[in-house]
Amino acid sequence: MASDTRGALVVVGSGPGIGSHVARTFSSHGFKRIILLSRDPSRLEKDAQFIRNKTPSANVSTLPIDLANTSGIPSALAQVDKALGDTPLEVVLFNAARVGPSTLVEWPMEELELDIKIKITGCYAVVQWAVPKLLAAKKSHKPAFLCTSGSIYKEPIPEVFSLSVCKAGQHNLVHSMHKKYKEEGVYCGMVVVGGVVADEHPECNAENIANKTWALYESRDDLQVEIVDP
């Protein structure tokens, strides 16, 4: 597809790691319209500059969203609609996560609820917003809903059980979407990172993960790619 016919990429949960690297990789493959969302506006502006440094022609917007505030998500996404204007939504990356230890059984119920809000309810709210737009783009574009995860979705780590529980639920949601929308022309897939993201890791570095995300998007076949260090 010619780069000038690409639609927009929206990254929900942008940050200096996977989020901004995926956006930068997609921009270098012709996605010129990029919208980044997370909670910290000044940090988001750094992510935007990171993309512009590689693709000066990229049109990058940043918008605030707090996925922990479920009732505020529709109004945040309405701002994305405004920013999109006439540009079709082509790809969504759901990448937001609250990462940290959660000790069995001291971890308060409210904290588990908060994790579920961000990673499952928040993801579903973005899915509800995105899917009709992605379906509308299928004749002229290659629409996709992508989500980052970790191998803990299938192999939980007790010390981060709350994150593991949420990743299992999120994976299940995207698996359902993969089954339902594949035939309807919208690819839904998971980028599963099986280790800590760090520059010095041969596979689990943000640049390589972004390249693998692009390859998954281009092939539009398997449910997921799993990235692990040797």
Angle between helices 18-28 and 206-219 (to 10 degrees): 50
DSSP state of 162: H
> Exactly one of 43, 46, 138, 182 binds ligand NAP (CB under 6 A); which one?
43
> Exactly one of 52, 59, 68, 220 binds ligand NAP (CB under 6 A); which one?
68
Q: Is 16 in the site for ligand NAP (CB under 6 A)?
A: yes
> Exactly one of 25, 38, 164, 224 binds ligand NAP (CB under 6 A); which one?
38
Of the two residues 38 and 61, which places its CB atom closer to ligand NAP in the complex?
A: 38
User: How many other CB atoms are there within 10 angstroms of residue 216's CB atom?
Assistant: 20
- Phi, psi for residue 213 in degrees, rounded to 5: -65, -40
Min separation Cβ 43 and ligand NAP, Å: 5
Per CB under 6 A, which region of 49-57, 85-93, 125-133, 145-153 contacts ligand NAP? 145-153
Check if the beta carbon of residue 47 is closer than 8 Å to that of residue 96.
no
Torsion of Cα atoms, 12 then 83 then 3 then 125, to 10°:
30
Of the two residues 55 and 148, which places its CB atom closer to ligand NAP in the complex?
A: 148
Quick note: the x/- pattern for ligand NAP over 82-111, rule CB under 6 A, is: -------------xxxx-------------
Region 180-219 residues binding ligand NAP, contact defined as CB under 6 A? 193, 196-197, 206
In sequence order, the 6+-apart residues with CB closer than 8 A to the CB of 88 are 7, 8, 133, 136, 137, 140, 141
User: How many other CB atoms are there within 10 angstroms of residue 15's CB atom?
Assistant: 20
Contact set with ligand NAP (CB under 6 A)? 13, 15-19, 38-40, 43, 65-68, 95-98, 118, 148-150, 193, 196-197, 206
